[in-house]
Amino acid sequence: MTQQPGFPQYGDSQYGQPVAGPDDRTPAALAHASSLIAMALSAGWLSFVGPLVMWLIYKDRSPFVRQAAAGSFNFNVGLWIMSIVGWIFIITVIGIPIGLVLLAVSFVLQIVGHLIGVVRATRGRTINYPFQLRILS
């Protein structure tokens, strides 16, 4: 893909997106994938740990990896809140259908969102997750 004169190149730091260096794509993809790995190992309860560790390691080294890890962490926090609300609905017994829907939506969004994040990171592109609570940046 060639850059056209007058058109911004996606990932150009001049337009607010960090540029992915050749060594940044794998750690950025791992920042997204670590959430899925932790989710599988802990039944979803520790999905935020992997992105947080990657953010702590790369926050001063690579803006691209820092943004990927922060986005993944923030997305997980939003989905955690959705899951907690779902469990509260389930505990109230009357809200079981709503709670089950919230848990299912949270589960599907987490898998699909992080898989898209992994694919985009391996291509050197960023992702803006929905349902983010901006805690890390």
How many domains does the chain divide into?
A: 1
Pick the residue with more confidence: 17 or 117? 117
Judge whether 131 lies within some domain: no
What residues contact residue 26 under an 8 Å CB cut-off, 6+ apart? 122
Asked if residues 54 and 38 have their Cβ atoms less than 8 Å apart, the reply is no
| Predicted local distance difference test score (pLDDT) of residue 6 | 39
Judge whether 111 lies within some domain: yes
Judge whether 12 lies within some domain: no
pLDDT grade, residue 10 (50/70/90)? very low
DSSP letter, residue 93: S
**1 has pLDDT over 80:** no
Residue span of the structural domain in which 32 resides: 22-122
Judge whether 73 lies within some domain: yes
Pick the residue with more confidence: 42 or 11? 42
Conformation bin of residue 126: beta by default, left when phi > 0, alpha when psi is -120 to 50 = beta
The predicted model scores a pTM of 0.80
Judge whether 56 lies within some domain: yes
**24 has pLDDT over 80:** yes
DSSP letter, residue 131: S
Judge whether 80 lies within some domain: yes
Judge whether 84 lies within some domain: yes
